[in-house]
Amino acid sequence: MANEAVIRELKAIALQLRCNVLEMIGTGKAGHWGGSSSLAETMAVLYFHSMNVDRNNPKNPERDRLLLSKGHAALIQYAALCELGYFPREELQRVKSLNGLLQGHPDLTVPGIEAVTGSLGQGLSLGVGMSLALRLDKIPNRVYVIMGDGEQSEGQLWEAAMAASNFKLDNLTAFLDWNKIQATGRTEDIFSIPDLDRKWAAFGWEVLKVDGHDIGQIIAGINQAKTIKGKPTLIILDTIKGKGVSFAENTPTYHNGIFDEAKYAQAKAELEAQKETI
């Protein structure tokens, strides 16, 4: 169990990541607030607690790998990579601009990005390949892959799920950001996949479920995954899409929505107020 001081620090980092995402989206242009914000705590735990990352060398061969299969949420990964010091803060202002480093989906030009993602369904296959390669090279690092719940309708994911259990990839941990909403509505209404936990278990995975906004539970899940031998682990993150900004929570409007000046000011004020409560 992580101690209180560690949890408080990670809560503060998660909030900073949300602030960074809001800054990147700015006003008057679309940005993926919803599915980025639902991952803030998980990103904070992975990059600032659980993963082995080298702040001085993003390419250190003995690093853990994180692949954002739901690549449209790139802003939350950029937010974390910025806090790690992998690129100057000014890049946040230039996101999605022609000569900016940070584009709408993850690209290998960005230090810390391990794969080009964004076409949903492909990240787990990449993760399987990387996990196999690490094992062949006898490198004891781990691979983490983050998927969405809407993304679960992509058939390639299930091929990768079978491959991972076939190859007994216990160095692979996947997350399912179960925020229950996709681009245009509720996942259940658009493409219902009941019993996801039992389906993944039937595909040979260890399946854990945690509150995706509870730092302690996320850490415990990741620690438990490290102890599972002979099969990969899926951690289902029970999350709220748009978490942290009241009017953007649980609505597809802010999947890739626009903040006008008033909404931006309100969102910023709400995030600032949360700083007092940590």
Ligand X SMILES: Cc1ncc(C[n+]2csc(CCOP(=O)(O)OP(=O)(O)O)c2C)c(N)n1
What residues line the site for ligand X (CB under 6 A)? 34-35, 38, 70, 72-73, 118-121, 148-151, 177, 179, 181-183, 187, 241
Element (H, E) at 146: strand 143-148
Contact 115, 155 (CB under 8 A): no
Q: Which of residues 32 and 231 has its CB atom nearest to ligand X in the complex?
A: 32
Q: Which of residues 7 and 21 has its CB atom nearest to ligand X in the complex?
A: 21
Q: Which two tokens stand for residue 247?
A: 């009017």
Minimum CB separation of residue 4 from ligand X in Å reads 30
Minimum CB separation of residue 190 from ligand X in Å reads 9
Q: Which of residues 54 and 188 has its CB atom nearest to ligand X in the complex?
A: 188
**Do β-strands 143-148 and 65-68 pair in parallel, antiparallel, or remain unpaired?**
parallel
What is the rounded CA–CA span in Å between residue 38 and residue 68? 13
Minimum CB separation of residue 143 from ligand X in Å reads 19
Minimum CB separation of residue 242 from ligand X in Å reads 9
What is the rounded CA–CA span in Å between residue 175 and residue 145? 6
Is the Cα dihedral 116, 85, 240, 243 positive or negative? negative
Q: Which of residues 77 and 171 has its CB atom nearest to ligand X in the complex?
A: 77
Q: Which of residues 36 and 171 has its CB atom nearest to ligand X in the complex?
A: 36
Minimum CB separation of residue 6 from ligand X in Å reads 26
Q: How many CB atoms lie within 10 A of CB 23?
A: 17
Minimum CB separation of residue 188 from ligand X in Å reads 11
Q: Which of residues 120 and 225 has its CB atom nearest to ligand X in the complex?
A: 120
Which DSSP state fits 55? T
CA nearest neighbour of 228 among 197, 203, 199, 206: 206
The single residue listed with the structure tokens 């509720």 is 186
Contact 167, 201 (CB under 8 A): no
Bridge partners, residue 202, by sequence: none
Give me the helices (H) in 65-193, please.
Answer: 74-83, 123-136, 155-166, 187-190
Minimum CB separation of residue 147 from ligand X in Å reads 7
Q: Which of residues 58 and 150 has its CB atom nearest to ligand X in the complex?
A: 150
